[in-house]
Structure 1
């Protein structure tokens, strides 16, 4: 018969092993938690800080490059004024009211002939409502463009001021998140695009709140959703498109904001 109160060595060893296993498991969980926390901080804070800093420096570099001492400002021209153009407020789906002058068309042609190199920042996008001012680079590569806090120009779409669709992409979250709040844009808000040769002013016209990530129609020359055909245009014009992911912190769907060219001013 076993005496009461006596604990055998085997029992003590099992209990000690159990305590060591629990302690080791707790250490692993704490370490994993710290690593995950650091990853979250890196993604949500550090990448934004670094990308915004780099994007601001690139904007300053472009401004210095374009600065021309003593150059006079050219008068602004509204594509909807004079000739056979109508009102420039984008009241219907037609872009035909936007007919740049021959001088403006020549400015655009000259700019297009010396197109930007891949991943090169060559323009500055400004959205006053969002207090946004970021560089525009050629292409939508994540490591070479978007993750730098830049806005990327879709290959195959038009350049600023050209007839068709000047289509852009930008991160909604992390890496500077330049397009985080484009859902706040409203009809009539202005968007400006500066290049070495001209300043282009677009006016926000329509928003597509959500569509498939594969809805390529939103960046066509005449933008119209292939998933939700009631959103978009039916006539050629001078358009700008801003695209980003939605909802926030996911990449499941796309959000698009469209605008129409209102004026061009040669530098």
Structure 2
């Protein structure tokens, strides 16, 4: 009887050992998945965005300069995924710079960029006479370009850099949390922003709370001025 008891205990120990090893393996796999999702995708996205941003700046540098006094060239037309400029938000860190591309599909946003909304509202470009230049970016993983969007407050500067101009906005309002189905926050006159008439606005959106996609947060700003880009691409005072 004692021998049978020892055999049962032995089998139980083996079973517990197997279960323990499986749990350890599952933990390691989960840790690797989290590391991939939150770190490695950042590394890859930052590398791709940096390369694409460099390509865009070289394209700008090689373009023929605009001659003062000549008629302005027509606004450029962009296709999905095209780079059109850079977003600078000093409140998210000194030297903050994010490549802007057209579209908000995963194929665009996963490249470590800020995407321009095309659905359900087609965002107005910064040079349009009025409208809402609405952008989205990830808050974690894939570059996490808007990870610190919650640090942006009323009165802060937002600057959009294009080939020929610096568009300087001032933050007028923020919305810490709303439904992810609340498309009104990116409307031409954004809901809950405090704006009550058409203007030249910018909206930045991302998921919240961090590491989830349950809700959305929004930051709204209005255009303060447009500075021309000089030969040295001297940034406006807000970025110095």
Look up the SS of the partner of 1:200 in the other structure: strand
Equivalent positions of 1:120-199 (< 5 A) are: 120-131=82-93, 132-142=96-106, 144-155=107-118, 156-162=122-128, 163-199=130-166
What runs of 5+ residues in structure 2 fail to find an aligned partner? 230-240
CA distance in 1, matches of 2:157, 2:35: 34
Choose between structure 1 and 2 for higher RCO, CA contacts under 8 A separated by at least 6 residues.
1
Give the TM-score taking structure 2 as reference length: 0.83
Paired position in structure 1 for 2:225: 263
Moved more, 183-192 or 206-215: 183-192
- Structure 1 distance, partners of 2:160, 2:53, is 12
Inter-partner Cα distance in structure 2 for 1:58 and 1:191: 22
Q: 1:120 to 1:72 in 2, by over 3 A?
A: closer
The 3 A distance-change label for structure 1 pair 259 and 73 is: farther
**1:170-213 Cα distance to aligned partner (Å, 9 max, x none):** 11112111111122112232212122343322221111121111
**Residue of structure 1 equivalent to 2:232:** none
Aligned residues: CA RMSD: 2.3
C-alpha separation in 2, matches of 1:182 and 1:196? 25
* Secondary structure of residue in 1 paired with 2:2: coil
Q: 1:236 to 1:120 in 2, by over 3 A?
A: same
Partners in 2 of 1:69 and 1:121 — Cα distance? Answer: 15
Contact residue 207 and residue 258 of structure 1 kept, 8 A: yes
* Alignment partner, residue 209 of structure 1: 176
User: Secondary structure of 2:185's partner?
Assistant: helix
Provide the rounded CA distance (Å) in 1 between the counterparts of 2:154 and 2:56.
Answer: 29
Does 2:13 match 1:7?
no
**Equivalent-residue separation in structure 1 for 2:176 and 2:203 (angstroms):** 13
TM-score by length of 1: 0.75
Aligned to 2:206, what secondary structure does the other structure show?
strand
Partner Cα separation in structure 1 for residue 67 and residue 210 of structure 2: 40
Note the alpha carbon deviations across 1:143-166, whole angstroms, 9 max, x for none: x11111111100011112221100
Runs of 4+ with deviation above 6 angstroms: none
Larger Rg, first or second structure (1 or 2): 1
Aligned CA distance change for structure 1 residues 69 and 245 (closer, same or farther; 3 Å): closer
